Structure 1
């Protein structure tokens, strides 16, 4: 569906690697909710500097189509774009559909489906992500780690600093999110990490963002307090089940070991005073991950 006049041209003279090339030269193209725009075969779809594409539906690029977006005006909207790798791998800096996610694996994983969305995710304490997220799917959920490089447009930083963001992983679109040891290149608008198996959703959050308050957080039958601390931290199970393994990670995704003061089947207390100030993430078994800040 089209919301404003635009020029959509199929060019006969296309690069050798593409059977045809399509260009949205100007105006706004709107893929409405419930609508699928599907490309088949080797096609390069270019959005020109004067063009804009709002996607509230699904753009299916298949295994061979590639989208090229202008700097400063990437695809936006509440919908998603989807592309699938043409082979089972291994992959070496493969970027399905030109969606901005490069994949490198040492093993054949089966075809990988990459889905991209544009609505910022929100950490439970209120911190927003950049306005770009991805989901990776493969047979068996991905059985081996994959090195990923997430590229973004400066307009998608959502008020965050490119030099402070890191990648986070979740098994659900809305979290909970676990931090990954990340390397960012703000000058190139990229952030990279190794994504452990099983894969699923990834996006980038500000690694240095403070938590919303020093109050108690209750989630999935467990309470953690205070989330903003000078040292003491308490964990209490409230649903009658046993307290699971506790793992604490710093803002770079490195496992750290705080002093454990007390530990029972339903309660634990630890001391973070010996750790550096900054963000931390407490993973409580398979229940949840809670974001903390040590000051």
Structure 2
């Protein structure tokens, strides 16, 4: 919020888009820093500036004299002079207009604010805090997913990885993919079409290993040999554990195209493509449509 007030303290009216750009320049963000995106696809820096502008406006430290225009108030100048190093939630809650905005019959503004976000004093924007909370949930669910997969029947696990690749878009127009694991499978647990006509196929190896029982170079090498046995050049090796450094190095340098997916990535992909999980809650994050008011 302080960089915004410093830009506004020239006493001029600033259009929202110009204000965002001027604040980015004022704090000296590099192009790389400006290009960092939230999972929603919005630039993280612009998201933080947007929330900061909103808070300053609610507190009446800045006002909108015209559509999508902003200027500093006497309160804004006073806050800048008193708190040049930064403004946090506790300071904002002492401002009458800000407190009144969040006040309700159920309790004071500070309690209301603390219920609304994960960390009231966090430097993260509310949207970033939501994403951080979702990430914590995904981490917990990932652990549960891998535990259940390790405890499942081998055939179930093999079918699960085939289902995952189908959800990821493989399998062609007819979603062709099947589990072929079992005795005499030739070192291949599944096969799936890579293109709509089935002209190219991807072969799958699936290993349910406990944590710490990492896949060795020799095991990956055996899978590559199995690929050559069926005349294939592409394969996906999926495990609930991890791969040794030698296994990773071998896969990266072998002529055949072999993708290695460890337990962490497997769980992440299953959550992303909704395999073995279901949506419990969903939330819509809205923002003011400035174009509507311009």
Q: Which bracket does the TM-score occupy, shorter chain normalised?
A: under 0.3
Q: Is the strand fraction higher in 1 or 2?
A: 1
Per chain length, whose mean CA-contact separation is higher, i.e. which structure has more relative contact order (CA < 8 Å, sep 6+)?
Answer: 2
Flag the structure with larger Rg. 2
Q: Is the helix fraction higher in 1 or 2?
A: 2
Q: TM-score, normalised by structure 2?
A: 0.23
Q: TM-score, normalised by structure 1?
A: 0.23
